[in-house]
C-alpha cells in the first residue's frame, strides 16, 4: 500500500514540492502524482520578456521528471472534494478523479482586473502565457509613436513598462501608478528607478488610479484620459476559484489559509503553497504572491509532509525575505535589500550588476524546477506503517 500524494499545479511551487518529496520519501512507499494543465513549465517571472518578442527556453515536464519517481500528468483540475479526498480532472481521455491521502494545492494565480470596467474587453495581461502571447502579437503590430499604458506600479508593472520601452523605443510608453513611482523602495532604489524610466522615455502618471479602460485610452479617478493604443493591466494577481468552492478555510480572496508548515488550518491532509496559499511570514505579515515566497513555501510543505509521514522532525525554518529583484529591461535593474518582513533597507544594488544578478535569480529558479531531484541531499526515511493508508477505490484516469 502506497501513500498517495497528489500535487496540483506545476508552477514554481508545485514542481519544486513534488521533486523535493521524491527526494525525501521512498518510492515503494509513496506514489507522487503531479498534475498540470500544460505539458511544459511556464516561467511566469519572464512573461514580460515573452510579451516583448523574446524566446523562452522550452521546459517539458515529461523530461524534467523522468526517472525521479514523480508521475507527471497533463490534465486540468476541475474541482477538489476535500471530504471524499478526490481531485476532479479532465484530460484528452475525458473526465476522471484522482484519490489522494495528502493533497498539495499549488494552482497559482492569474491576472486581477479588480472589476474595473473595460479591462476584460480592452486590456492585455501578462500573468499567463496565453495573455503574454496575445500582447506580443499586438505590440508587434503597433506602429512607431503609438501609445502603450502599463497600469500598476508594483514589481510586475515596473518590469513590464521598462521591458516594453527598451524593446520598442519607437513607442510612447507610460506607466500609471496608484502611488508614487517605487515609493516602497529605498532612496537609492527609487532614485535609480526614476533615472532608468527617464532614460527609457517612459511617462509616469503617479497617484493615478485607473477607473476605466476603453479602446484608445484609460481614465483615472480624477477624470483624466490617458491615450492608450494598448493597455497592459498588472495590478496584482487573483487566485483560481477552485479552493473557494470547497469546504477548505479560505480568505475572502480565495487563498487557502495555512499554518507554518503550509498545512490547511481546516483540513490536515491538505497543504497549500505559492500564490494559492495565505501564509504568515516574518513580522506576522502575510507572504506576498511571488516566486520568492512560493519556493520556500514548497520546501516547507515537502519537508513537513515527509516529517509527518516518517515521524521525523518538523522543519522550523522561518519564512523570510532577503531582497526584491527587479529587472528594468535587459540591461538595468534594482536589487532592493529588505528586512525579513519585506521592508526596504537603505542598501540597494543598481545598474548592470543588478540586471545580471536578477538574471541569475531567474535562471536559478528555473534550474530548481528543471532539476527537481538534483542538488538536494537525499534524506529518505521510512514511512511509519500506520500512516500508509489507502482511501476508497476511485475511478482513475486511463
Ligand atoms: C511578468 C511577471 C513577472 C514576475 N516577476 C517576479 C519576480 O521577479 N520575482 C518573484 O518572486 N515573482 C515574480 N512574479 C510572480 C510569480 O511569477 C508568481 O508569484 C509565481 O509564479 C507563483 O508560483 P505558483 O507556483 O504559486 O503559481 P504558478 O507559477 O502560477 O503555477 C501554477 C501552475 O498551476 C497550473 N494550473 C492552474 N490552474 C490549473 C488547473 N485548473 N488545472 C491544472 N493546472 C492548473 C498552471 O498551468 C501553472 O503551471 C512575476 C509574475 C509575472 C506575471
Ligand 1 binding pocket, CB closer than 6 Å: 9-14, 35-38, 42, 44-45, 47-48, 76-77, 106-109, 126-127, 156, 159, 240, 274-276, 289-292, 294, 325
- pLDDT of 380: 75
- pLDDT of 373: 66
- pLDDT of 395: 38
Taking the CA of residue 110 as reference, the ligand 1 atom at the shortest distance is: 30
Strand partners, 338: 344
Q: What whole-number distance in Å separates Cα of residue 120 and Cα of residue 140? A: 21
Is the separation of the CB atoms in 264 and 249 below 8 Å? yes
> pLDDT at residue 367 above 80?
yes
pLDDT band, residue 1 (cuts 50/70/90): confident
Rounded distance from Cα 383 to ligand 1 centre (Å): 31
Rounded distance from Cα 172 to ligand 1 centre (Å): 29
Residues of the chain above pLDDT 90, percent = 90
Taking the CA of residue 242 as reference, the ligand 1 atom at the shortest distance is: 41
Is the separation of the CB atoms in 248 and 256 below 8 Å? yes
Q: What whole-number distance in Å separates Cα of residue 137 and Cα of residue 384? A: 54
Q: What whole-number distance in Å separates Cα of residue 125 and Cα of residue 131? A: 5
With 0-12 / 13-18 / 19 or more C-beta atoms within 10 angstroms meaning exposed / middle / buried, residue 320 is middle
Taking the CA of residue 12 as reference, the ligand 1 atom at the shortest distance is: 25
Rounded distance from Cα 362 to ligand 1 centre (Å): 13
Taking the CA of residue 291 as reference, the ligand 1 atom at the shortest distance is: 11
> Mean of the per-residue pLDDT values for the chain?
93
Residues 121-172 pLDDT 10s: 999 999 999 999 999 999 999 999 999 999 999 999 999 999 999 999 999 9
Rounded distance from Cα 341 to ligand 1 centre (Å): 21
Question: Which residue from 10, 45, 104 has its CB within 8 A of the most atoms of ligand 1, so it is best to mutate?
Answer: 45
Residues 277-295 pLDDT 10s: 999 999 999 999 999 999 9
Residues of the chain above pLDDT 70, percent = 94
Rounded distance from Cα 392 to ligand 1 centre (Å): 32
More confident call, 382 vs 81: 81
Question: Which residue from 6, 103, 290 has its CB within 8 A of the most atoms of ligand 1, so it is best to mutate?
Answer: 290
Residues 163-182 pLDDT 10s: 999 999 999 999 999 999 99
- pLDDT of 387: 52
Q: What whole-number distance in Å separates Cα of residue 18 and Cα of residue 301? A: 10
Q: What whole-number distance in Å separates Cα of residue 210 and Cα of residue 250? A: 29
- pLDDT of 392: 40
CA atoms within 13 A on the CB side of 164: 34
DSSP state of 137: H
Q: What torsion do the CA atoms of 27, 268, 279, 177 make, to the nearest 10 degrees? A: 90
Q: Which three cell numbers stand for residue 319?
A: 519564512
Rounded distance from Cα 293 to ligand 1 centre (Å): 11
> pLDDT at residue 10 above 80?
yes
> pLDDT at residue 343 above 70?
yes
Residues 6+ apart with CB under 8 A from 191: none
Check: pTM over 0.85? Answer yes or no. yes
Taking the CA of residue 362 as reference, the ligand 1 atom at the shortest distance is: 8
- pLDDT of 318: 82
Taking the CA of residue 75 as reference, the ligand 1 atom at the shortest distance is: 43
Taking the CA of residue 89 as reference, the ligand 1 atom at the shortest distance is: 42
Amino acid at each position: 500500500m502506497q501513500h498517495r500524494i497528489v500535487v496540483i499545479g506545476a508552477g514554481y511551487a508545485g514542481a519544486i514540492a513534488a521533486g523535493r518529496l521524491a527526494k525525501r520519501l521512498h518510492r515503494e512507499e509513496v506514489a507522487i502524482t503531479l498534475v498540470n494543465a500544460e505539458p511544459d513549465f511556464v516561467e511566469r517571472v519572464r512573461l514580460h520578456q515573452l510579451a516583448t518578442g523574446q524566446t523562452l527556453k522550452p521546459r517539458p515536464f515529461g523530461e524534467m521528471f523522468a526517472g525521479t519517481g514523480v508521475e507527471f500528468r497533463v490534465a486540468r483540475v476541475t474541482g477538489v472534494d476535500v471530504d471524499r479526498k478526490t481531485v476532479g480532472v479532465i484530460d484528452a481521455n475525458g473526465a476522471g478523479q484522482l484519490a489522494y491521502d495528502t493533497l498539495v494545492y499549488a494552482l497559482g494565480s492569474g491576472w486581477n482586473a479588480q472589476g474595473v470596467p473595460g479591462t476584460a474587453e480592452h486590456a492585455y495581461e501578462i500573468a499567463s502565457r496565453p495573455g503574454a502571447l496575445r500582447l506580443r502579437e499586438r505590440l508587434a503590430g503597433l506602429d512607431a509613436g503609438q501609445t502603450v499604458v502599463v497600469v500598476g506600479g508594483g514589481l510586475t508593472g515596473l518590469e513590464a513598462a521598462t521591458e516594453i520601452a527598451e524593446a520598442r523605443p519607437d513607442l510612447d510608453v507610460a506607466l500609471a501608478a496608484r502611488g508614487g513611482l517605487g515609493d516602497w523602495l529605498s532612496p537609492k532604489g527609487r532614485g535609480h528607478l526614476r533615472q532608468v524610466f527617464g532614460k527609457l522615455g517612459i511617462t509616469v502618471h503617479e497617484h493615478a488610479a485607473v477607473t476605466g479602460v476603453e479602446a484608445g485610452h484609460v481614465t483615472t479617478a480624477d477624470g483624466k484620459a490617458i491615450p492608450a493604443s494598448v493597455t497592459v493591466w498588472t495590478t496584482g494577481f487573483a487566485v483560481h476559484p477552485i479552493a473557494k468552492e470547497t469546504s477548505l478555510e479560505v480568505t475572502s480572496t480565495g487563498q487557502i489559509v495555512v499554518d507554518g508548515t503550509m498545512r490547511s488550518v481546516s483540513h490536515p491532509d491538505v497543504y497549500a503553497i505559492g500564490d494559492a496559499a495565505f501564509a504568515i511570514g516574518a513580522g506576522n505579515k502575510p507572504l506576498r504572491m511571488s516566486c520568492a515566497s512560493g519556493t520556500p513555501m514548497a520546501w516547507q510543505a515537502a519537508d513537513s509532509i515527509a516529517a509527518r509521514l516518517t515521524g521525523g522532525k518538523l522543519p522550523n525554518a522561518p519564512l523570510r525575505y532577503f531582497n526584491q529583484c527587479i529587472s528594468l529591461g535587459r540591461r538595468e535593474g534594482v536589487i532592493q535589500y529588505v528586512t525579513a518582513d519585506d521592508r526596504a533597507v537603505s542598501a540597494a544594488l543598481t545598474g548592470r550588476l543588478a540586471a545580471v544578478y536578477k538574471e541569475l535569480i531567474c535562471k536559478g529558479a528555473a534550474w530548481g524546477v528543471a532539476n527537481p531531484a538534483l542538488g538536494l541531499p537525499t534524506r529518505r526515511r521510512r514511512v511509519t506503517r500506520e500512516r500508509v493508508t489507502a482511501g476508497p477505490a476511485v475511478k482513475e484516469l486511463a
